[in-house]
Chains A and B, each alone.
Chain A
Amino acid sequence: GEDVEQSLFLSVREGDSSVINCTYTDSSSTYLYWYKQEPGAGLQLLTYIFSNMDMKQDQRLTVLLNKKDKHLSLRIADTQTGDSAIYFCAEHNAGGTSYGKLTFGQGTILTVHP
Chain B
Amino acid sequence: SAVISQKPSRDICQRGTSLTIQCQVDSQVTMMFWYRQQPGQSLTLIATANQGSEATYESGFVIDKFPISRPNLTFSTLTVSNMSPEDSSIYLCSVEGGGRETQYFGPGTRLLVL
Q: Which residues of A contact B (CB under 8 A)?
A: 30-31, 33, 35, 41-45, 48, 50, 88, 90, 92, 94, 99-102, 104-107
Among A31, A35, A48, A100, the residue within 8 A (CB) of B31 is A100
The binding surface of chain B is classed by DSSP as strand
- Most chain A CB atoms below 10 A, which of B43, B48, B100, B105: B43
A101–B48 CB distance below 8 A: yes
B33–A100 CB distance below 8 A: yes
Among A31, A101, A104, the residue within 8 A (CB) of B42 is A104
The binding surface of chain A is classed by DSSP as strand
A102–B42 CB distance below 8 A: no
Q: Which residues of B contact A (CB under 8 A)?
A: 1, 31, 33, 41-45, 48, 58, 92, 94, 96, 100-108
Among B48, B101, B104, the residue within 8 A (CB) of A31 is B101
In the bound complex, how far is the Cα of B76 from the Cα of A85, in angstroms? 29
A41–B45 CB distance below 8 A: no
Please give, as numbers and ranges, the residues of chain B lying within 8 Å of A92 by CB-CB distance: 101, 103
- Most chain A CB atoms below 10 A, which of B31, B45, B92: B45
Please give, as numbers and ranges, the residues of chain B lying within 8 Å of A35 by CB-CB distance: 105
Please give, as numbers and ranges, the residues of chain B lying within 8 Å of A100 by CB-CB distance: 31, 33, 48, 96, 100, 103
Please give, as numbers and ranges, the residues of chain B lying within 8 Å of A50 by CB-CB distance: 101
Among A30, A44, A88, A99, the residue within 8 A (CB) of B43 is A88
Name the distance in Å between A98's Cβ and chain B's nearest Cβ: 9
